[in-house]
Amino acid sequence: MTWDAFIYFAIAAALLWVAGAWAGWRRKAAWAYALTGAGIGVFLAFIIGLWIGLERPPLRTMGETRLWYSLFLPVVGLLVYGRWRYRWILAFSSLMAIVFVCVNILRPEIHDKAMMPALQSPWFVPHVVVYMFSYALFGAAAVASVWFLVTKKPEMAMADRLAYAGLAFLTLGMLFGALWAKQAWGHYWGWDPKETWAAATWLSYLLYIHYRLARPRSHKPALWLLLLGFILLQICWWGINYLPSAASSVHVYAS
Amino acid sequence: MIDWTLLAWPVNAWVLVAFAAALAIMTALRRRVRLLAWLGGRASALWAIGFALAATVALGLVPQSRSAAGSWWQHLISSWPFVLVWVWLAVSLGLATIYGTIARVAASGEHGNGRRRLRTTVFVLNHLGLLLALVAATLGSADMERLRMAVGQSRLGAEPQSVAWDANGYGRELDIAIELVDFKINENQQADVRTPRKFKAEVKITALSPHAPSISEQTVEVNRPASMHGWKVYLIGYEAELGEDTRYCEFELVRDPWLPWVYAGIGMMLAGAMGLFVLATPKKEKQ
């Protein structure tokens, strides 16, 4: 399978996700599970097809990592829905997933088939997949914190759980990256711009967790910290491509 | 600006001993000196993480110089503000690890249960793991050696090579010699673009130490370094225009004696991150 087939899978998955979000809003839990789950299945089928078609995991370009992000957002939305039954969460997670699907349709960064030697490693898949899962959790945390700031009815237990789970996966992704870097580049940490911004992102969520422990009743600054973390995460993910300080990054593969 | 080479063995070992002794003394005096209790508490942790975050963002925004030349803000990692933030972070983290572990162990002795014990374990894994990785990585950086060596193909008549060059262009005679037995490229043919997919060097590494002479034949690829006597040997280049007929391969040789300690810290943090996820997942009976 190639990117040519993406639009059909994307439309089918998006329709299922919208229908699932609608069912969630109307409090029809069984339909919400079934439809959102079916959308995830359709989207995953495309990723697997693309994987087979490319003869390598689709994890290398920005377009390919966006695919995983679009996949994990509804997964996280469904997990949060299953636990807390927020009627709005599926609408938000589906909307964000569809935004990323649209970005992929409008700006497909599709590249050559061969994978450069530095990326041919068993660390590649766990490193990127774990990161994308944590990005999806933090995306849900950011959406939730905006909602809480607007409605002024914060549910900090939910924000905390998303932040803890996100930080757990962010840490795994960073450490997998360090172990891989030792194998590929000779050192586990080189203050490459991508690594620097990854460290900044990691520290910001670490700050959130410690702020929550130190000032448990002060909710508003904590929610702003979640948004700060999400902004740093965006800089780390794609924003550094536009920073002069990152011109020499060894993490830029897609140019 | 800090000259990290001043920390080279055995200075870094003494710094480590002094750091550990300082933590022990501060722990002993923490009930008498309020500042010492504060340094290991959550408020200090917030400030230390906040400053570390600001410093890291600055590092990400300001273009850094790769050579020794340039102003202090082009070498932020080695500047005094950064080092002071780092020291605060390390002291705060070290004291928090000790105070937190003592408090948690004492509390779980009184009314321990599974979840509480898991919390204590995850706390220790995350904090001690990060402390170990940070301290070992920083102190050990002065002992890390990164050298380059060009080795000619032996089938073209080249001899094994045992001299490697550091970043300043100084040559060094090593305790190992590398012979390049063979070099192969697996090319991936695609339309008219030929891009090298994988290249690998067959090497024979001989330990030159008279006490334990040994020979090992290994394959070096990108992502797969060879190892011998504490050295890791990375394949970093060849003469691209000559392909398999390249006259030599360029290797990078890395020795990092503190690596096992950094890995121990990373291992603890990996386990701690999994524990963090377990603690984040909802517990059914709490509903």
Q: What is the pLDDT of residues B67-103, one digit of tens each?
A: 778 888 889 989 999 999 999 999 999 999 999 999 9
**By C-alpha distance, which of A76, A230, A240 is closest to A165?**
A76
Domain count, chain A: 2
CA distances from B29 to A50, B23, B48, B219, B280 (A): 62, 10, 21, 55, 35
Residue of chain A whose alpha carbon sits nearest to that of B283: A83
Q: Counting every residue, how long is chain B?
A: 287
- ipTM of predicted complex: 0.93
Tell me whether residue A254 is in a domain.
no
Tell me whether residue A255 is in a domain.
no
Categorize the per-residue pLDDT at B287 as very low, low, confident or very high, splitting at 50, 70 and 90. Answer: very low
- Residue A71 shares a structural domain with residue A131: no
Tell me whether residue A239 is in a domain.
yes
- Is B276's Cβ below 8 Å from some Cβ in A? yes
- Residue A136 shares a structural domain with residue A218: yes
- Residue A237 shares a structural domain with residue A146: yes
Choose the closest CB to A189 out of B45, B137, B222.
B137
Residue of chain B whose alpha carbon sits nearest to that of A164: B280
Closest CA–CA distance from residue B273 to any residue of chain A (Å): 5
Domains of chain B: 4-144+260-286 (no CATH), 145-255 (2.60.98)
- Residue A9 shares a structural domain with residue A103: yes
pLDDT at B283 over 90: no
- Residue A2 shares a structural domain with residue A68: yes
- Residue A212 shares a structural domain with residue A104: no
Domain stop point among A109, A134, A155: A109
Q: Which residues pair with B90 in a beta bridge?
A: none
Residue of chain B whose alpha carbon sits nearest to that of A201: B53
- Residue A97 shares a structural domain with residue A137: no
- Residue A238 shares a structural domain with residue A130: yes
Three-state SS for A99-122 is: HHHHHHHHCCCCCCCCCCHHHCCC
E-strand ranges in chain B read 145-152, 161-165, 171-190, 193-207, 214-221, 226-228, 231-238, 248-255
Contact (CB<8Å) B63/A245: yes
Q: What is the pLDDT of residues B247-260, one digit of tens each?
A: 999 999 999 999 99
Tell me whether residue A101 is in a domain.
yes
pLDDT at A114 over 70: no
Query: Which residues touch B22 (CB under 8 Å, ≥6 apart)?
Result: B91
Contact (CB<8Å) A172/B281: no
**Mean per-residue pLDDT of chain A:** 90
Tell me whether residue A116 is in a domain.
no
User: Strand B248-255 relative to strand B145-152: parallel, antiparallel, unpaired?
Assistant: antiparallel
Tell me whether residue A65 is in a domain.
yes
- Residue A162 shares a structural domain with residue A103: no
- Of the two residues A9 and A106, the one the predictor is more confident about is A9
Tell me whether residue A115 is in a domain.
no
Categorize the per-residue pLDDT at B188 as very low, low, confident or very high, splitting at 50, 70 and 90. Answer: low
| SS3 at position A85 | coil
CB pairs under 8 A between A and B: 127
Rounded mean pLDDT, B226-255:
92
Tell me whether residue A253 is in a domain.
no
- Residue A103 shares a structural domain with residue A128: no
Look up the domain containing A50 and give its range.
Answer: 1-109
Choose the closest CB to A200 out of B60, B190, B222.
B60
Which of B222, B231, B262, B287 is the best mutation test for A, with the most CBs of A within 10 A? Answer: B222
pLDDT at A115: 63
Q: Which residues pair with B185 in a beta bridge?
A: B199
